[in-house]
A and B are shown apart, each in its own frame.
Chain A
Amino acid sequence: MMLRVLQGMAGLLLLMQASMASAVLTIEIIGAGEHQIPVSIVPFGGDEKIAQSINEVVTGDLQRSGLFRLVDPTGKSPHVPAEVNFPDWEVRGAEALAIGTVAAQNGRIEARFRLLDVVKQTELIAQAVSASEIQVRAIGHRIADMIYEKLTGDKGVFSTRIAYVNRQEKKFSLIVADSDGHNEQTVLAQNDPIMSPAWSPDGSQLAYVSFETGHAVVYVQSLYSNQRRVLANFRGSNSAPVWSSDGKQMALVLTRDGSSQIYLARPDGSDIRRITFSGAIDTEPHFSPDGEYLLFTSDRGGSPQIYRMPVKGGPTERLTFGDGSNFSPRHSPDGKNFVFAHLNNGRFYIAMQDLQTGQMTLLTEGGWEKKPSFAPNGKLILFASEGRGRGILATVSSDGRVKQHMFTQSGDAREPVWGPYP
């Protein structure tokens, strides 16, 4: 698998094995952005004294984005602006330089950091970030987000979280983790399948499908209190929950009236009303960011394809044509594109299509790649893939240039979905 990807990427290739100290997972990065910004991150003064290196989190985040080239700071270790000799860094090819100090006090950790423009010799950011000791990785993610935004112009997503299902033999766990796969928290663990996790727009709740009562039932669970409620438990299958971006309504799929059809409901499960009437399988609804449209998968035309309909009713249009079948559509955060899983000749690809032009682009080389979802900044797409014979999490940049594979320690990672900004 790895070898094949490498061959496919021959030419512009950068392979890094970032094995984290806590060894929760291994991350492989393949490819590089078109314009990589050379930046040097000097380990913060005092970083070696805290349990989790902030420097390691920041450099890991920036590396994985594929948009930065990390310039080795060895031999120089300025921590405050007065210690910086800009020509030292210009010689090494760095355009930006991050320096700072970190200290622990009363169970809290505070990092004071600065981002400097090496060429203009100016200060771009001067900021203090603090958190409790157990959230030290969050400090690193926050700093990486600030550096990313300042240098690329796009908002960073390193502080966001992802949800996925881990399957180990017959044991299923619903997991929430940081966007880099660390800091895993188990939301639900059981011996029956769990599928289709979905984030509430404020990130406080997860909806999901559980088979614990013998059939597919949709639950909504608070990530703070862990309390949960049944959203839909009708006869047959209840599935595919998703929130509208304003959080005021949800779409889901029920078979209570026959085949899988799409329904709208209030987030408390009330006011359930059917909105598709095809008699085919209509599933995987996803709201457009403005809440006006739903993308969904349907086999009403013979094979499973992507369709779009106005939420308030009106003509439904088919969006995907050509060879193969298509599944799991998700709008980009700006509403201009959608990603989906494309099945052709026995291989699954992650694909993206422009809603305006209808132009479809394959973002991956194909394999067993399913269930894509955009990062909230629209720059990365998370999906389920396979590596070393296991289900893994993977991301690809929205231009298809940078890919990474995240290997969890054991079991199959499935059904990933990227959460909102915190």
Chain B
Amino acid sequence: MRKLVISIVLVNLLAACASEPKKEPVAEAPAPAPVTKKAEEPKMAPAVPAKAAVDPLDDPASILANRSTYYPFDVAVVQEEDKPLVQAHAKYLSENSNRNVRLEGNCDERGSNEYNLGLGQRRADGVKKMLELGGASAGQLESVSYGEEKPRCIDHNESCWKQNRRTDLNYAR
């Protein structure tokens, strides 16, 4: 039994890593310990689906694995293509009232830091409102803004900027 639990943990970790290679280093900080423990059975992990025990939030195939909405320049409304994603999270939150999520608004650097702080807040608030309309309760949600202070990419070009104009749905673990 103990062995099974450990391998499920391992599957979850791998799933999380595969779906989000560039994000959430903080949330994944506790990872190293179980991985080293389980080092002698690396092949087993991918083979075990363990579907029943996996929280859909950790299923890399689920739409819920996608946790960012993206925006055009100086726009804060959730775009059409991101609506199914936000609605899926709303449904998940309404069915899992013990889950809390932080909505973190971010901007590209074209604006003052303060204006972008306001714009990022507006982006996060837009997602928050949509989640509430979809059934999540206000108590599960917190919206904050990092403005342009936590860029994913730091070059002065559109390929960078478009990655920085986003709201991240950061679930509390």
Q: A and B: partners? A: yes
Interface residues of A (CB under 8 A from B): 193, 195-196, 209, 211, 214-216, 235-237, 239-240, 253, 255, 258-260, 281, 283-284, 297, 299, 303-304, 325, 327-328, 341, 343, 346, 368, 370-371, 414-415
**Measured between C-beta atoms, what is the minimum distance from B102 to chain A in Å?**
8
Q: Which residue of A lies closest to B105 (CB)?
A: A237
Task: From known contacts A260-B121, A281-B119, infer whether A211 and B146 are also in contact, taking CB-CB under 8 Å.
Answer: yes
Task: From known contacts A193-B149, A236-B144, A281-B122, infer whether A343 and B110 are also in contact, taking CB-CB under 8 Å.
Answer: yes
Given contacts A209-B117, A216-B144, A328-B114, 7 further A-B contacts (CB under 8 A): A236-B121, A236-B125, A240-B114, A258-B125, A283-B118, A299-B74, A304-B115
Which A residues are in CB contact (< 8 Å) with B144? 214-216, 236-237
**For chain B, what secondary structure do more than half of its interface residues adopt (helix, strand, loop), or is it mixed?**
mixed
B 139-173 contacts with A by CB, 8 A: 142-147, 149-150, 156
B 96-149 contacts with A by CB, 8 A: 102, 110-115, 117-122, 125, 142-147, 149
Which B residues are in CB contact (< 8 Å) with A284? 112, 114-115
**Measured between C-beta atoms, what is the minimum distance from B95 to chain A in Å?**
25
**Measured between C-beta atoms, what is the minimum distance from B163 to chain A in Å?**
17
Q: How far is the CA of A195 from the CA of B111 in the complex (A)?
A: 14
Neighbour of A196 across the interface among B111, B113, B120, B125, CB < 8 A: B113
Cβ of A297 and Cβ of B121 under 8 Å apart? no
Cβ of A196 and Cβ of B118 under 8 Å apart? no
Which B residues are in CB contact (< 8 Å) with A260? 117-118, 121-122
Neighbour of B114 across the interface among A214, A239, A258, CB < 8 A: A239
Which B residues are in CB contact (< 8 Å) with A193? 146, 149-150
By size class, the interface of chain B is: 20 to 34
**Measured between C-beta atoms, what is the minimum distance from B16 to chain A in Å?**
21
Task: From known contacts A216-B144, A237-B144, A346-B110, infer whether A283 and B115 are also in contact, taking CB-CB under 8 Å.
Answer: yes
Task: From known contacts A215-B144, A259-B122, A343-B110, infer whether A237 and B117 are also in contact, taking CB-CB under 8 Å.
Answer: yes
Cβ of B121 and Cβ of A371 under 8 Å apart? no
Q: How far is the CA of A283 from the CA of B116 in the complex (A)?
A: 10
Cβ of A259 and Cβ of B146 under 8 Å apart? no
Cβ of A211 and Cβ of B149 under 8 Å apart? yes
Which B residues are in CB contact (< 8 Å) with A195? 113-114, 117, 147, 149
Which A residues are in CB contact (< 8 Å) with B147? 195, 216
Neighbour of A259 across the interface among B74, B114, B118, CB < 8 A: B118
Task: From known contacts A236-B143, A327-B112, infer whether A253 and B118 are also in contact, taking CB-CB under 8 Å.
Answer: yes
Cβ of A341 and Cβ of B143 under 8 Å apart? no
Cβ of B145 and Cβ of A216 under 8 Å apart? yes
Q: Which residue of A lies closest to B145 (CB)?
A: A237
**Measured between C-beta atoms, what is the minimum distance from B46 to chain A in Å?**
33
Cβ of B112 and Cβ of A239 under 8 Å apart? no
Cβ of B121 and Cβ of A259 under 8 Å apart? yes
Q: Which residue of A lies closest to B119 (CB)?
A: A281
Which B residues are in CB contact (< 8 Å) with A259? 118, 121-122, 125
**Measured between C-beta atoms, what is the minimum distance from B145 to chain A in Å?**
5
Cβ of B117 and Cβ of A283 under 8 Å apart? yes
Q: How far is the CA of A211 from the CA of B120 in the complex (A)?
A: 14
* Top-4 shortest CB links A-B: A260-B118, A327-B112, A193-B149, A281-B118
